[in-house]
Amino acid sequence: MDPATEMKRNRFPSMNFEAEILTAPHDNSELYVIPSMRSLTAEEYVEAFKTFLDHSTEHQCMDEFNKEEMPKIMASLGNGKSTINVLGVGSGTGEQDLKMIRILQAAHPGVFIDNEIIEPNPQHVAAYKELVNQAPDLQNVSFIWHQLTSSEYEQEVKERGTHKKFDFIHMIQMLYRVEDIHNTIKFFHSCLDHHGKLLIIILSDSSGWASLWKNHRHCLPSTDSGHYITSSGITDVLKRLGVEYRVYEFPSGWDITECFIEGDPVGGHMMDFLTGTKNFLGTAPPGLRRQLQEALCQPECSSNKDGRIIFSNNLSMIVVES
């Protein structure tokens, strides 16, 4: 067996790989090889993520948290200071950032807000800046963008030897992509000022993702850094660091019905996002395709509502004290 086939075989340890990938045509003319699976590029991820947002209640779930819990959290910040320092880590296009900034403005009228952003994607940075340019109500807010990854920012800070302190730091759905989760949380927690708070939003252990990753991640291409983590993985880190935190659980759903409609382009993008794989339906072995689609219908992943299949996308909002 050649090394490439051996490597692929190891990726699917629970399957008869050759039977799925290499099938002899009736005339025995040549073997048909299914194109190899690969993970999404950054651009492909953005496209698949948009499909996810369009069909999920992810942002509505965050809005619910903003409405129910964020005013109290924001009111406790600043400790009477005339300027409140905020840091967004992996802020994307900024919609969630600006919602939180407005809650902070309402909690501290007249106080100046110094908002810094760490975001490596230049398209996202451009979209965030455009959003700020169109907003008439941010006069008392300054913005500094760092087009860097969180680890690049950390390295810059350590090389400078200066350590700016922040009253509020948020990391929304971004810890899947860092190289070292423990040290990343430890570093940004060290950036908090007295009475500051760190908000981490991550997928809940009760989400369908937890079940999907536990049972099937060995079958899929690894992500950029290979992290499949839910809230318990984060709270384990926080316990080891010996810091105080509180977890808020909020339900969220994602309508994935199109995943089961043959040839549906939206369903194709959804499966790409679910698996982190480019053209999963076109490149995965048929057995793996069936296995994943069956798993997605199980109660630990999804529920059936009015004939639609709703994948559990529950979120954990973890608020860490300084």
Helix, strand, or coil here: 267?
A: helix
Which residue is listed with tokens 């529950």? 314
d(CA 52, CA 124): 17
Pick from 6, 10, 99, 11: which is nearest to 275 by CA? 11
Binding site, annotated residues: 58, 313
d(CA 120, CA 218): 28
CB neighbour class for 33 (10 Å; exposed up to 12, middle 13-18, buried from 19)? exposed
d(CA 269, CA 285): 17
Quickly list H helices, 22-94: 42-55, 58-68, 70-75
Pairing label, strands 83-89, 166-172: parallel
Contacts 24+ apart (CB under 8 A), 205-209: 205/230, 205/231, 205/232, 205/316, 206/249, 206/312, 206/314, 207/252, 207/312, 207/313, 207/314, 207/315, 208/296, 208/300, 208/301, 208/302, 208/311, 208/312, 208/313, 209/312, 209/313
Binding site, annotated residues for substrate: 58, 313
- Residue 177's alpha-carbon distances to 43, 207, 217, 270, in angstroms, are 15, 19, 15, 19
